[in-house]
Chains A and B, each alone.
Chain A
Amino acid sequence: MPMEHAPDITAKPTAADARIMVEIRHMNKWYGEFQVLKDINLSVRSGERIVICGPSGSGKSTLIRCINRLEEHQEGDIIVDGVPLTEDVKNIDQIRSEVGMCFQQFNLFPHLTVMENCLLAPMSVRKTPRPEAKRLAQHYLEKVRIPDQADKYPSQLSGGQQQRVAIARALCMQPRIMLFDEPTSALDPEMIGEVLDTMAELAADGMTMICVTHEMGFARKVADRVVFMDQGQIVEEGNPDAFFSAAQNERTRKFLQQVLQN
């Protein structure tokens, strides 16, 4: 499995006394009549790495998309780094500038170079002067090991490279929290490793991360907590050791059986 290349993360910071970065309380969401999220309660502390897994259609992506308001929730509270997520555009803007996100389809801007992709948000949202934004971008592109492709267009890069650029682009905003929405699901198998390695390094730096992924090797090695969702509910959560060896819930065990077989 790809995780063999990942740096060993032995020193997990104790999250017990860190402050709460994301707090979700009794959150419900409907698409019309259909309830996609049911009474979600989740709190994520600073520096914690959460992996959310579950069968498709269980609401995992919808859940993390609610955290930066790409989706609206109808009931309950979401508080991100002390800022409550409401209709207030100022709050939404503030939260989005503190929360980075990577998508399954990378979603790089195809008409802009790698460098311009990385400059757009810091320059327009943070008002970072161009030279400084460029230094920042160069730093993060080096971090994701794409230093020499800055002037290329996304279409000239491989899928794995594109996803790493997308990670760098998000990091250029220097977010406090990173959301990953199935970042490796659209990748060829041989490119999954490089993206997971990048994510593992980010985790090692102490980034607060919430990842929706089916990569159980990544979950086992990097996550502080694994959250299992089914039919819009959080069915079970626990540290990876307990989760993988002694899942309490029948649905969880069934899911794990299926994904671990592969």
Chain B
Amino acid sequence: MTFDYMAIWDNRDILSQGLLTTLIIAGTAIPVGVAIGVLVCMLRISKNRLLRWPAIAYIEIIRNIPLLILLFMMFFALPFFGVRLSGLTTGFICLSIYGGAYFAEVFRGGVEAVSKGQFDAAKALGLKYGFYMRRVIFPQLYGYVFPPATNIALTLIKETSLLSMIAVSELTYAAHDINGRTFTPVETFATIALIYWGISILFLKLTSGLQSRIEVGHISRPITIR
């Protein structure tokens, strides 16, 4: 067979539109997922059961359901309860809460890796909980959580392809579309595989650059209090 470049070139608008959608979803769901992760992690490590238990339930439920089922439930089942969300919104919400559960566990692992003595010292100095978590504990766990958190973010980028199943016209959906009209599966799927690979490599470059700047002990940020 011959490699039909024209099928790709002729449909470059669809592909770039799909790429943009993929980037928008990943670019919003990852930060929101991290935020959810921090919040749920704080609840998860709380001594108060009323705060801790919902966090455990959230983590255990979300982590043990396939993302695709989560998407289907929200997209196809929720309308029966009168909640109708667009595919894009559904995808964004699902990816965020899905990532949030994983991020929360990674952050918890980081907090537990910080030595107990750091908590003792912070408390003994009279620092308030929120303050010492933010200024003493969290800055120390970047080193521990950065690599696994990067992995989760990378997974989320690639999992955006599942949104094609609920008719979000992201990259994979665009590929389906092109393939359906031109019947060039080799060209089309090889191309988007390459694009996903490219996004991932760029993302990893970005994060490894970031990581080397915030290695523990070298955060040269002056103290500003409130």
Give residues in A with beta carbon < 8 Å to B. Answer: 65, 68-70, 93, 96-97, 99-101, 103, 105, 107-112, 116, 119-121, 123-125, 130, 153, 155, 166, 169-170, 173, 179
Contact = CB atoms under 8 A, between A and B. Distances in A.
A109 B136 contact: yes
The 6 closest A-B pairs by CB, nearest first: A107-B121, A96-B126, A121-B125, A107-B117, A101-B124, A97-B126
Contacts of A166: 121
A119 B117 CA distance: 19
A interface secondary structure, majority: mixed
B225 interface: yes
24 contacts: A93-B128, A96-B123, A96-B125, A96-B126, A101-B124, A107-B117, A107-B118, A107-B121, A108-B121, A109-B121, A109-B136, A111-B139, A111-B216, A116-B223, A119-B223, A120-B125, A121-B126, A123-B225, A124-B127, A124-B131, A125-B126, A125-B128, A130-B223, A155-B217
B50 interface: no
Nearest to B219: A111
Nearest to B129: A89
B125 A125 contact: yes
A130 B219 CA distance: 20
Given A100-B124, A108-B121, A123-B223, 16 more contacts: A68-B123, A103-B124, A107-B117, A107-B120, A111-B140, A120-B136, A121-B126, A124-B127, A124-B128, A124-B131, A124-B135, A124-B225, A125-B127, A125-B128, A170-B124, A170-B125
A108 to B, nearest CB: 7
Contacts of B115: 105, 107
A132 to B, nearest CB: 13
Contacts of B118: 107, 109
Contact of A169 (B125, B131, B217, B223): B125
B140 A110 contact: yes
A97 B127 CA distance: 9
Contacts of B128: 93, 124-125
Nearest to A155: B217
Contacts of B121: 101, 103, 107-109, 166
